[in-house]
Amino acid sequence: MSGYSRSEPLARTAPMEANVRKGVTPASQSHRLPGDGIIDRRLPLQFSFDGKTMTGFAGDTLASALVANGVKLVGRSFKYHRPRGIVTAGSEEPSALVEMRTGARREPNTRATTQELYDGLIANSQNRWPSLRRDFMSINQLFAPIFVAGFYYKTFMWPAKFWESIYEPMIRRAAGLGKSAELPDPDHYDKAWAHCDVLVVGAGPAGLSAALAAGRAGSRVILVEEDTLIGGRLLSDGGEIDGLDAREWLRGAARELVSLPNVRIMTRTALFGVYDGGTYAALERVSDNVAMPDRHQVRQRIWRIVAKRSVVTAGAIERPIVFPGNDRPGVMMASAVRTYVNRFAALPGKRVALFTNNDDGWRTVETIERAGAHIVAVIDPRHEVPAQYQRLVDTYDLRVLAGVVSEVKGGVDGVRSIVVANDKNGLTQRIDTDCLAVSGGWNPNVGLSCFHRGKPTWREDIAAFVPGSAPKGMATAGAANGELSLSACLREGHGAGARAAAECGAAGKPGEASKADDEVYAIAPLWHVKGKGKAFVDFQHDVTASDVTLAQREGFESVEHLKRYTTLGMATDQGKTSNINGLAIMAEATGRTIPETGTTIYRPPYAPVAIGAFAGHHRDENFHATRLTPSHHWAAKQGAVFVDTGLWKRAQWYPRAGEKDWLETVTREVLAVRNGVGFCDVSTLGKVDVRGADAGVFLDRVYINSFSNLAVGKARYGLMLREDGIVYDDGTTSRLAEDHYFLTTTTAKAGPVMQHLEFCRQVLFPELDVQLTSATDQWAQFSIAGPNTRNLLRALADPSEDLTNEGFPFMGAREVKLRGGVTARLFRISFSGEMAFEISVPARYGAAMAENLMIAGKPYGVTPYGTEALGVMRIEKGHVAGPELNGTTTADDLGLGKMMSKKKDFIGRVMAGREALTAPNRQVVVGIKPIDKARRLRSGAHVIPKGAIPGPQTDQGYVTSVCFSPMLDQWIGLGLVERGRERTGEIIRIHDPLRNEDYEAEICSPVFYDPEGVRQRG
Amino acid sequence: MRIACPFCGERENGEFTYLGDASPKRPNFAVDGGESPERVEDAFYDYVYLRDNVAGVMREYWYHGGGCRSWLVAERNTVTHEFISVTAAPGAGAASAVRAGE
Amino acid sequence: MADFSWNVQSPLQQALVPGRHGGAGTQVGVTLEEVRGVSLVQVMARRGRVAETIKAAKKLFSVEPPDTPRAVSGRNATLIWSGPDQFMVLSARQTGDQFAKLTAGFAGVASLSDQSDGRCLIRIAGSGARQALAKFSSLDLHDSVFPAGAAATTAVDHTAVNFWREPGSVDENAVFNMLVFTSFADSLWHTILDSCLEYGVQASVAHAA
């Protein structure tokens, strides 16, 4: 199979050349650069943000388009409603969260940095009222003390009843993120499986190298990339590989990967989970880049990927530095600044200040200067310009300041100036700037390697955690492994890809690794600049450095406690930019090292996944698979009302015009059966073909009664126990031949009983020659009941069939020929207590059988009846069903104790003899009749002695099944009542606190109707 | 999670049902046998209720109900979820088998 | 006396609407076909009688039944592995008692169960078939793993199905067969159809020959 992905990883590489033919940049894009960028200027797109119309280009994200339009303020923060802007250019974005779309498709908390721009896109800022610029709730900042760490636990303690009515609604209105749609999601989602030898996660230089190596070697490779394009940081930082410009190399790598039929590239696909045995989960955003999915297309799709090996090349995330005012719009990660300029040709600021504690941040200088903007200052706490960047200082006449940023000044429109403090001499100076680029170093993406409780290890030289041990079959490479230089990424990725392929048995050659110059990466860790004003650790949850130190002072020193007490890292971004900073500040406060402090446990999902995507196809009528009986469509045509019985749809009753309610319908159906004849589809009963020389012995062991002595042509009621002595299931089993039994189960237990029987056959009694096949779906089975049953059957059956009491006695079972040439199985069994048969024909004749029963029974007023009438008649006859076979009752409780054979071993025999299961005061099945005949008996009501005060001490049982009995013209029921059989005739009290009812009833025999059983034997 | 059915090959765990510890053997119970009722009852009590809570490799019953309907005995590490081996129950196929526990 | 007609009804009588569904324009990426009029018999070797069962099958179908998950074409029938020491015999339904004939052929060595009405046979083919199948089947259908004639008992929507790739069907012409439980057929058809719609579907009814 060739590679399959709906998205086209290279679709936008062509415009890299095409953008030379520049279109006219609309005026609104005040910060759009004329130069390079991977956007298609021939395709301008219109979009609206907070009702204001703007334009961008194909290839933009919403964030890059906002940057190009000079928008800095994009939202208000969670607790304090502080103005917030765009911080990153990737999926780690903690700040620029917007509400996408409107109406039923409205989706809150969408990261503007990953939302592809499309024509007609509508986005709104969230968590502000009445407008983004004038937000009344920003008054929360004045009440900041009540929103500190643990405020949920401290502030709203008392009185408890205020929680629901006052505190919670108030907090929810004030603090929160976007509003979700209030209508059902009109879009579809699905789930799919994919299989490969080598799964490569992330298509940056390391991932591309890994995929190339494994693909060339001949492995089946899947390369997943959450971005719309492959390339990773190459798209933003460029460089030189194998003597080529990075983008040129990228095009070559892409061409080669696409040419390999064993490589499948899946873009817009974020890996979010690592599960046991090499199973991975990824979310493909199939249609998030359009206003509405194409017809028959899904919005998102979850992939379950089964891979023998995986190479995680998920890169690294640049981390912020925690300093006062670091959340002001216009404060942006340095790598994001470079991405906006180089990839999107959008300029985040014209006078950019750079605050970096590491060499990588210095890359930003050249990007900004070449874009025609200016670096107003570089602030580096290391007091030394890295050697490799010394030339920049001269070229651009850079102002380099040794120190830290200690304050950020500005308004809702963002940064206007910063204050730089020299940490050695304490002097401060103010620098005017409209954008502060920050780099605190890089955190390798260790999450995926830690989902199986792997612990990351600390690497001092890069001041970051790297993967410790990875789940079986997984390797990490490149920046995700702490190797931050391009050359190392290419080398490590290639090596990991080649190794994974070899481990999967690929025999081909992986080729040579691509090469780049080695760069130096040096860093002096800087976590927190102390000063006045809020310094944010977690932008999304508004957790500040002082919240972390407060948590420490209050004793919440463990990182797991810190997380829960402050909610640090618990927002939708899962702390991708904040966790390490938070624990570093905690380490400092407690005087421990960072590795001693440790990380919280990493758990999936790595990226937010919509519940709709998890549900996939399984919603509404497709929530679960359903089963239809062979006469389903016939019954629907008769107007049947269906009820869900497990997965089955069963006809519950067949209403007729003029009937005022279901009770009238059901009563009519019961009377029609008891006075004439009716039929009911009982195909849902589980049916099992039991064959083999030892079939009888086998059934003796699974039933409490004997079946090896059942004559061919006879049926018998059987009861199964669990091994602990409790009743499991019941049903009739017929012997159709010496070595062939036909076993039936209840509808509910058909599946579990089949599994149990297979366990008995394969595990417990493997010495027996017995074979089992489910025949449930093979047969359409109908119960025909009522005094005219025989007349109906005589009309239907071939005249040669003897249906007299002698020719076909009660509990007989055999094949009969029907008129018209069909052979049926006929069983003389009765659930209703009437003269009754069950008849089964191959399922294809099910609908015809229903029609023919109507024809044959017409002279007798034949009436189709549903499960409700079936239930009424079984209660009138005292037959037990699900409510009595409820997992607590013994055979004797059900009045069936005498069936238990003493001559054989059977499942449950020994344990059924235990003292508590044979105690004389057990609750047993009885009949219950209210004294007041007009009173409606309700199931679930308690039984207590007359005159007793209701309570646990006086409770003696409960009502299990109830119905209105047309034969007795009153509500009756079955119940489980202590010593019930000895108490026939006793007046008891029915107590129903749920419905506030209390009345008297009489204990009676459970067989209300025809106790001698004359009718069914007649 | 993936489970390698000895008949079907590796399959996703949704096709399987877990039963539990495969170590306890159902006691033989001869109706007219010489064993005292108490001993039989004790043996069944152990069989039905007593289980070790193993942290490590454990033998377990799994049913491939969404597949070939075979009962399987798997050795699985309860700490890492790794399957060490999966074999068929003695009566899974049609080969002559002796009763388990004998 | 009234006359009784015994019209047969497929479980897909309502769900299957012949014709084109989904897709864009006239594109047909997947063909879905219900094959009606089949005879299907489950054959399970009796304990200790595997060799005799193989012999009996060979006599009836001129081919040994598969002992691994495969489907093999024999005389007038396809034998599909369905579990250890068991297989299904699929053939066109004929007049006369096919089941009795088979029972006689395997008398004493295997237990048979007529499943002709217990399953519904759905065939999936076309350039989009594997992609559509990936949405409801966890099987790896790559040529190297699931070649022509490969079979599996597996689950779709938590429901057991017998699945095999038509022996001899190669490359883009691969044909996948699914036997689904009759009572689930209507529901699974909707799941299958929904999964195929984006590729364009041609749905039809065929009769086993």
User: Quick check: A540 and A94 in contact, CB under 8 A?
Assistant: yes
Regarding an ipTM greater than 0.90, the answer is yes
CB contact under 8 A, C11 and A852: no
A151-165, A527-541, C12-26, C161-175: least confident range: A151-165
Supply the CATH number for residue A379's domain: 3.50.50.60
The DSSP result for chain B, as a single string, is -EEEETTTEEEEGGG-EEEEES---PPP--TT-SS-HHHHHHHHHHHHH-----SSEEEEEEE-TTTT--EEEEEEETTT--EEEEEE-TTSSSS--PPTT-
Measured between CA atoms, how close is C171 to chain B, in angstroms?
Answer: 23
Q: Is residue A80 a part of any domain in this protein?
A: yes
Which chain B residue lies closest to A774 (C-alpha atoms)? Answer: B69
Report the alpha-carbon distance of residue C92 to residue C208 in Å, rounded: 5
Cβ of C45 under 8 Å from any chain B Cβ? yes
The stretch C59-67 carries a mean pLDDT of: 97
Angle (nearest 5°) at CA A18 between A17 and A20: 85
How many domains does chain A fold into?
6
Q: Tell me the three-class secondary structure of A342-410, residue by residue.
A: HCCCECCCCEEEEEECECHHHHHHHHHHHCCCEEEEEEECCCCCCHHHHHHHHHCCCCEEECEEEEEEE
Locate the DSSP E strands across A422-570: 428-432, 435-439, 442-444, 457-459, 464-466, 474-476, 536-538, 543-544
Q: To 5 degrees, how large is the angle CA A335–CA A336–CA A341?
A: 100
Residue A408, phi then psi, degrees to nearest 5: -125, 125
CB of A915 within 8 Å of a chain B CB? The answer is no
User: How many C-beta atoms lie closer than 10 Å to residue A384's C-beta?
Assistant: 12
User: B12 vs C44: CB contact, 8 Å cut-off?
Assistant: no
Q: From C159, which residue of chain A is nearest by alpha-carbon distance? A: A625
Q: What are phi and psi of C160, to 5 degrees?
A: -70, 135
Of A112, A147, A174, the position where a domain reaches its end is A174
Query: Start-end ranges of CATH 3.30.1360.120 in chain C?
Result: 19-36+119-207
Could you state, in order of their start, the residue ranges of all structural domains in chain B? 2-88
Does domain B2-88 correspond to CATH entry 3.30.2270.10? yes
Check if A845 contacts C (Cβ < 8 Å): yes
Kindly list the residues from chain C whose CB atom is less than 8 angstroms away from the CB atom of residue A691: 44, 111-113
Is domain C19-36+119-207 classified as CATH 3.30.1360.120?
yes
* Facing B66 at nearest CB: one of C46, C82, C155: C155
Do residue B94 and residue C154 have CB atoms under 8 angstroms apart? no
Rounded-to-integer distance, Cα A203 and Cα A230, Å: 5
pLDDT given at position A131: 78
The Cα A568–Cα A579 span in angstroms is 7
Residues 6 or more apart in contact with residue C16 via CB below 8 angstroms: C10, C32, C34, C189, C203, C205
Judge contact between A897 and A988, C-beta under 8 A. Answer: no
Indicate the residue of C141, C159, C191 with minimum beta-carbon distance to A617. C191
Q: Which residue of C has its CA nearest to A751?
A: C159
B2 CB neighbours in chain C (<8 A) are none
* A48 strand-pairing partners: A53, A122
HSE-up of residue A713 (Cα within 13 Å, Cβ side): 4
Put simply, whether A843 touches C (Cβ < 8 Å) is yes
**Last residue within a domain, chosen from A774, A795, A823:** A774
Half-sphere exposure of A837 (CA within 13 A, CB side): 27
Domain, as residue range, for A708: 686-774
Residue A707: helix, strand or coil by DSSP?
coil
Q: What is the mean pLDDT of residues C32-58?
A: 97
C-alpha to C-alpha distance for A729 and A878, rounded to whole angstroms: 17
d(Cα B55, Cα B78) in Å, to the nearest integer? 6
* Per-residue burial over A988-1016, b = 16 or more CB atoms within 10 Å of its CB, e = otherwise: bbbbbeeeeeeeebbbbebbbbbeeeebb
Instruction: Note whether A683 and A762 are within 8 A (CB).
Output: no
Q: What is the CATH number of domain C38-114?
A: 3.30.70.1520
Query: By CB neighbour count within 10 A (0-12 exposed, 13-18 middle, 19+ buried), where does A164 fall?
Result: exposed
According to the model, what pLDDT value does residue A950 have? 94
- Separation in Å, CA of B53 to nearest CA in chain A: 20
Q: Mutating which of B2, B11, B98 best tests the C interface, going by the most C Cβ atoms within 10 A?
A: B11
Is the Cβ pair A762, B31 closer than 8 Å? no
User: Which residue is closest to B24 within chain A, CA to CA?
Assistant: A764
Provide the token pair at A480: 């995700």
> Which of C5, C118, C141 has the CB atom closest to A820's CB atom?
C5
Three-state helix/strand/coil letters over A668-690: HHHHHHHHCCEEEECCCCEEEEE
β-partners of residue B17 are B63
Measured between CA atoms, how close is B98 to chain C, in angstroms? 11
Residues A434 and A465 in one domain: no
Any chains having at least 3 CB pairs less than 8 A from chain C are A, B
Q: What is the model's pLDDT at position C20?
A: 96
Cβ burial A123-156 (10 Å sphere, 16+ → b, else e)? bbbbbbeeebeebebbebeeeeeebbbbbeeeeb
Q: Rounded CA gap, A267 and A252, in Å?
A: 17
Domain contains A399: yes
Which residues belong to CATH 3.30.70.1520 in chain C?
38-114
In the prediction, which pLDDT does A11 show?
40
Give the pLDDT confidence of B2-31 residue by residue, as tens digits: 999 999 999 999 999 999 999 999 998 776
Contacts of C192 in chain A (CB under 8 A): none
The DSSP output letter for A317 is E
Q: Which of A145, A174, A203 is the last residue of a domain?
A: A174
State the best of B7, B16, B98 to mutate against chain C, taking most chain C CBs within 10 Å: B7
pLDDT for residue C2 is more than 90: no
CB contact under 8 A, A755 and B17: yes
Predicted local confidence at residue C185, as pLDDT: 98
In a domain, A752, yes or no: yes
Query: Average pLDDT by consecutive 10-residue portion of chain A (1018 residues)?
Result: 39 38 68 90 95 96 98 90 95 95 93 97 84 72 67 60 63 66 93 98 98 98 97 95 96 97 97 95 97 94 98 98 97 98 97 97 96 96 92 94 95 93 88 98 95 93 95 96 96 98 97 93 95 94 94 92 92 92 95 94 92 93 95 98 96 97 98 98 98 98 97 97 97 97 96 98 96 98 97 96 95 96 95 94 97 97 98 96 96 96 93 95 98 96 95 96 97 98 97 95 97 87
Q: pLDDT value at position A155?
A: 57
Query: Beta partners for C33?
Result: C123, C204
Distance from CA of C152 to the nearest CA of A (A): 16
Q: Which of C81, A803, A904 is nearest to B5 (CA)?
A: C81
Interface check B1 vs C, CB under 8 A: no
Check CB contact of B70 with chain C, cutoff 8 Å: yes
Q: Which of residues 37-56 of B touch C (CB under 8 A)?
A: none
Strand-pair category, A107-111 with A97-100:
antiparallel
- Touching check for A555 and chain B: CB below 8 Å? no
Per-residue pLDDT of chain B (102 residues; tens, 9 = 90+): 899 999 999 999 999 999 999 999 999 877 665 567 778 889 999 999 999 999 999 999 999 999 999 999 999 999 999 999 999 999 999 998 776 543
Predicted confidence at residue A453, as pLDDT, reads 86
pLDDT for A16 equals 37
Residues of A in contact with C9 (CB under 8 A): 630, 633, 844-848
Q: Which of B40, B80, B91 is closest, CB to CB, to A763? A: B91
Answer yes or no: do C5 and A842 touch at CB < 8 A.
Answer: no
**Domain check: are A34 and A145 in the same one?**
yes
> How high is the pLDDT of residue A6?
38
